[in-house]
Amino acid sequence: MKVNRSASVPSSVAPPEMFTGTVRRDGLINAERPGRVSTGLVTFEPGARTAWHTHPAGQILIITAGRGWVQSEGQERYEVTAGDSVWIPADERHWHGATDKTAMTHIAVTESVDGSAVTWMEHVRDEDFLRG
């Protein structure tokens, strides 16, 4: 067994190639082989969001603080708040982030397939982020 202590690893700033705005990532524990699940605690400042992306085995998001938006392509944009949880099906193009005015923090739970948990695409344009 391993216990991962809170704040035992420095926070990191999410790379601008994959995110818009200010996004902080804090480490949580990940499965070891043969497990395939990884986790992340991600905080989006107002206006910040992921780029469009897909997950080969889907993803669960658990909103732990604030209020944000999540959207799959061609579907409605959902507003989510602390305590809400979200399932994103495998290979469904989507993004997640803050709202334009409020920060949001979520835990992301993601399984990998052949060593990959995400495929990144283009940034979410401001007009698409705001319109939903």
Phi-psi region of 129 (alpha: psi -120 to 50; beta: other; left: phi over 0): alpha
Which single residue brings its beta carbon nearest to Mn ion?
A: 59
Instruction: Tell the smallest beta-carbon distance from residue 127 to Mn ion (Å).
Output: 21
Choose the binding region for Mn ion from 13-21, 25-33, 52-60, 121-129 (rule: CB under 5 A): 52-60
Asked if 59 interacts with Mn ion (CB under 5 A), we say: yes
Q: Which of residues 77-116 bind Mn ion (CB under 5 A)?
A: none
d(CA 110, CA 67): 21
Do residues 67 and 83 make contact, with C-beta atoms less than 8 angstroms apart?
no
Q: Judged by CB under 5 A, how many residues of this single chain contact Mn ion?
A: 1
- Of 56, 123, 67, 58, which is closest to residue 95 (Cα–Cα)? 123
Instruction: Tell the smallest beta-carbon distance from residue 3 to Mn ion (Å).
Output: 27
Nearer to Mn ion, 47 or 94 (CB): 94
Q: How many contiguous H segments (helices) and E segments (strands) does the chain have? A: 1, 12
Please give the residue ranges that form the binding site for Mn ion (CB under 5 A).
59
